[in-house]
């Protein structure tokens, strides 16, 4: 829905990222509302691992958002280049993105679109969660219709496929899918058609994301899969709890 450009801002020409709604969506009321909704959600909370919004505006009838510029690559870009993360890198990403998620959840917001393309790594290796266009909170008007799936299927919790409300637990499921993908290069049920992916989330157990990895302790793969439980009540309660499980499992003796 949006395109992002690097720009210079202020007297010192400091670099920023400017997100502009694509022209084909500029006349669609719901698209514009969702675009501006991102600005409101991102402005509600400040956190070092959440990409906020500095400013908003409109030029020639086209709304835009001004965000901090992050020098680095997204997880999706790294995976497309043939890279997977080490266990330590995956743990760090889960802890950092998870801390941002917990802050969102404590503020009454659910992200609803956690995926590899929405996580960017700074040059120092730290991870930042982006894109609040689908974020949902009690103070927001509904921008979808009943029965409409919102999010990205590769990362979608079973309860969302069943048209149940998005919750912090469904964000945790998506984070688990991202950690899984970061280790083996693909989401849990990728490589099949849309129907098969959906049924995988609903009924199948994912394979071990650490199969064949020499840097993973024996129980680490199961710790990754803890966030992918079909029952939301069986998942870790918070992202912090999930990240702690990963760290503990990674350093467990053989």
Query: What are the sequence ranges of the domains in the chain?
Result: 2-68, 72-250
Whole-prediction pTM value? 0.85
**Fold classified for 72-250:** Transferase(Phosphotransferase); domain 1 (1.10.510)
Active-site pick, 113, 131, 154, 171: 113
113 is catalytic: yes
The reported pLDDT for the residue numbered 61 is 73
Q: How many helices (H) and strands (E) does the chain have?
A: 8, 9
> What architecture does CATH give domain 2-68?
2-Layer Sandwich (3.30)
**pLDDT tens-place string over residues 153-182:** 999 999 999 989 889 999 999 999 999 999
Give CA separation, 128 vs 69, 117, 151, 231, in Å: 11, 11, 19, 28
- Residue 82 is encoded by which pair of tokens? 């043939």
């Amino acid at each position: 829905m949006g395109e992002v450009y690097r720009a210079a801002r202020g007297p010192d020409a400091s670099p920023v990222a400017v997100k502009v709604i694509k022209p084909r969506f500029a006349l669609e009321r719901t698209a514009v509302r969702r675009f501006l909704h991102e600005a409101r959600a991102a402005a509600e909370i400040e956190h070092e691992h959440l990409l906020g919004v500095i400013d908003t505006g409109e030029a020639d009838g086209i709304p835009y958002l001004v965000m901090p510029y992050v020098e680095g690559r997204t997880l999706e870009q790294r995976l497309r280049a043939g890279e997977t993360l080490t266990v330590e890198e995956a743990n760090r990403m889960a802890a950092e993105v998870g801390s941002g998620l917990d802050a969102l959840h404590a503020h009454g917001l659910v992200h609803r679109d956690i995926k590899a393309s929405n996580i960017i790594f700074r040059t120092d290796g730290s991870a930042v969660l982006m894109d609040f266009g689908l974020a949902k909170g009690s103070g927001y008007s509904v921008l979808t219709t009943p029965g409409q799936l919102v999010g990205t299927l590769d990362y979608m919790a079973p309860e969302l496929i069943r048209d149940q409300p998005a919750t912090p637990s469904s964000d945790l499921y998506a984070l688990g899918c991202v950690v899984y993908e970061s280790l083996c290069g693909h989401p849990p049920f990728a490589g099949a058609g849309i129907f098969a992916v959906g049924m995988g989330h609903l009924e199948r157990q994912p394979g071990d994301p650490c199969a064949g990895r020499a840097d993973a302790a024996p129980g680490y793969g199961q710790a990754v899969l803890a966030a992918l439980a079909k029952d939301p009540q069986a998942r870790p309660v918070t992202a912090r709890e999930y990240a702690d499980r990963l760290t503990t499992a990674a350093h467990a003796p053989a």
